[in-house]
Amino acid sequence: MAGEIALFLDMMAAERGAARNTLEAYRRDLDDYSGFLAAIGASPKSVTTATIRDYLADCQARGLKAASVARRLSAVRQLHRFLYGEGLSGEDPAAVLEGPRRGRPLPKTLALGEVDRLLATAREGLEDATRPVGERLRAARITCLLELLYATGMRVSELIALPVTAARRDQRFLVVRGKGDKERIVPLNGAAKDAMAAYLALREMAGLGPSKWLFPSSGESGHLTRQHVGRELKGVAGAAGLSAAKVSPHVLRHAFASHLLQNGADLRAVQQLLGHADIATTQIYTHVLDERLKSLVRDLHPLGNDG
């Protein structure tokens, strides 16, 4: 089974431009499926629809949540579709299966006041020239990270991979390289540009050498990791009096989208800014639109205040 999985992952990387994290997620799910088949003495060619149903039942018996079972079924479906399409299997036993029903949870987000508290806390001490330059630089970096996340709605993986050229003084837009190596353009606001300028000035003041990355690190990748940004953000959240469990880079992405829609942005425009390939993904924010439409009717309809 390992050979078939390797071929499938090669196809995902070469033809669909799947990111490394996506490939690793597929590998983990399919390795689990492969282990189940090995335990019952089945091979890819002998798998039937009943075999896959037994695997899903086994996942549920192990206590996996509906979302995790659905994700594994999606990986298994795609694997068998690939094997059938490549002539490595005589049929596609997963084609008729449906995943477990699950309600899509509303995205966690932050109120505008909570975002303001985060940013204000991050900036504390930034302008205090009496503080050591290293402390000011750390404050400038987390401020820059926060301002960019909230101003653009970028994924944290896109943010940490920004080149230092993104901070040019005349920059009004960022070119972001997203999933599948696709590029999109997002506008920059004044606060984000000012935060980048202050951060780079302090980097120079600290005597740090040049780097091609906006957020360099001594690690293997050469730039900050997603985990590092997440830890720093939770630290700021705690200092701001917010629950660390409530705050993450992805929550700021949700706040960006939700606040745009609350203020009248078009769903299609938000889809483009977030880099969603399918507007169905962006429609998790329709609860925001629903509330805005209710407010419009209540405030603007001639009979809106009656009853």
| Residues noted as catalytic | 155, 179, 250, 253, 276, 285
| Rounded Cα–Cα distance for residues 161 and 217 (Å) | 11
CB 39 within 8 A of CB 20: no
Taking every pair of C-alpha atoms in the chain, what is the biggest distance, in angstroms? 73
| Rounded Cα–Cα distance for residues 81 and 249 (Å) | 34
CA 206 vs CA 134, 135, 148: distances in Å: 7, 10, 22
Selection from 284, 249, 248, 240 nearest residue 116 by Cα: 240
| Rounded Cα–Cα distance for residues 266 and 279 (Å) | 12
| Rounded Cα–Cα distance for residues 121 and 11 (Å) | 46
- Tracing tokens 């000035």 back to the chain, one arrives at 201
Number of H helices, E strands in the chain: 13, 2
Q: Is the dihedral of CA 41, 47, 51, 55 positive or negative?
A: positive
| Rounded Cα–Cα distance for residues 271 and 217 (Å) | 31
> 45: left (phi > 0), else alpha (psi -120 to 50), else beta?
alpha
| Rounded Cα–Cα distance for residues 177 and 160 (Å) | 11
Selection from 164, 163, 159, 138 nearest residue 148 by Cα: 159
How long a stretch of residues is the chain? 307
Token digits for 281?
């993904």
